[in-house]
Structure 1
Amino acid sequence: MGLIWSLIVGGVIGAIAGAITKKGSSMGIIANVIAGLVGSAIGQSLLGHWGPTVAGMAVIPSIIGAVILVAIVSFFFGRNQ
């Protein structure tokens, strides 16, 4: 059950990052989950584990990390949607 919960929270974090960067329409569900999980790892590595925590992920650093990840990936792959 923990893995499913992490995937759901990762997807929500990825969707929030896509909405913030205005790249959400070009990302699918799997891309949202990947962006959320990888962005969470990046954000927590750079910013630490502060703020509210859901499924073992600190929400605010995770969203910031996912926004950074989505912005960098969209820059290199040229998605202008």
Structure 2
Amino acid sequence: MSGFGFIAWIIIGIIAGWLAEKIMKRSHGLLTNLIVGVIGALLGGFLANNLLGIDASGSWIVGIIVATIGAVLLLFLLGLVKKRG
């Protein structure tokens, strides 16, 4: 998602983190949503680009969808790790 600027990363991160929070039925604050969303965007962008050949950097909608999927995956994996520990 290198086609987006810094402000766009923050906006997409907050939206993706918030959507992932609602999908996973969790309750986090704005900062946590931002962190989860940005990391989810990196994870989702990496997976979409390398596994599916999708470039998420050209469209806000695709970027938010890919970032949200990555954020949901991140929350799911963190939930698995938390259950083990």
Place the TM-score, normalised by the shorter chain, in its bin.
0.7 to 0.9
Q: Is 2:6 the partner of 1:3?
A: yes
Q: TM-score of the superposition, structure 2-length normalised?
A: 0.71
What is the distance in 1 between the residues matched to 2:73 and 2:35?
13
Q: Unaligned 5+ residue runs, structure 2?
A: 50-54
Report percent identity of matched pairs: 30
Partner of 1:44: 45
Cα pair distance change 1:50/1:4, threshold 3 Å: closer
What is the distance in 1 between the residues matched to 2:58 and 2:72?
18
Cα pair distance change 1:52/1:63, threshold 3 Å: farther
Q: Which structure has more strand as a fraction of its residues?
A: 1
Equivalent residue pairs, number: 73
Q: Unaligned 5+ residue runs, structure 1?
A: none
Partner of 2:19: 16
Larger radius of gyration: 2
Aligned-pair Cα RMSD in Å: 2.2
